[in-house]
Homo-oligomer: A and B are copies of this chain.
């Protein structure tokens, strides 16, 4: 394959890294996908995302809210009800994210094979 030159403005790395670490947080992608089809309550998210602790879910939601990807709505009933949903920005990011996702799924076997070959030729030190 011919080299494909990256056409990026200077300083792009930092931007991309910033975005990747935001959206690539262990649980962030699950939250985004979970909210992609509509708003959900805190407890709904926690149930639908396996193995996430309240602490991590809270932190993930805070970060995504802080960066403008999701909105948080408190209904002051007793007990409290809190709903989260994607903002416009949150919906927008689904586009490039979906592209990356589809590419990843498309190439999953290539990566899996590369990994296996590497591991076989680089045995653990016993």
Contact = CB atoms under 8 A, between A and B. Distances in A.
A56 interface: no
Interface residues of A, number: 58
A47 interface: no
B89 A4 contact: no
B6 A94 contact: yes
Interface of A: 1, 3-9, 12-13, 15-21, 23-24, 26, 29-30, 33, 36-38, 65-68, 86, 88-89, 91-105, 107-108, 110-111, 113-115, 118-119, 122
30 contacts: A1-B92, A3-B37, A3-B38, A3-B91, A4-B36, A5-B36, A7-B98, A8-B102, A8-B105, A9-B105, A12-B101, A12-B105, A15-B101, A15-B105, A16-B29, A16-B101, A17-B30, A19-B101, A20-B24, A66-B118, A66-B122, A67-B118, A89-B107, A89-B110, A89-B111, A89-B114, A92-B103, A93-B103, A93-B107, A96-B103
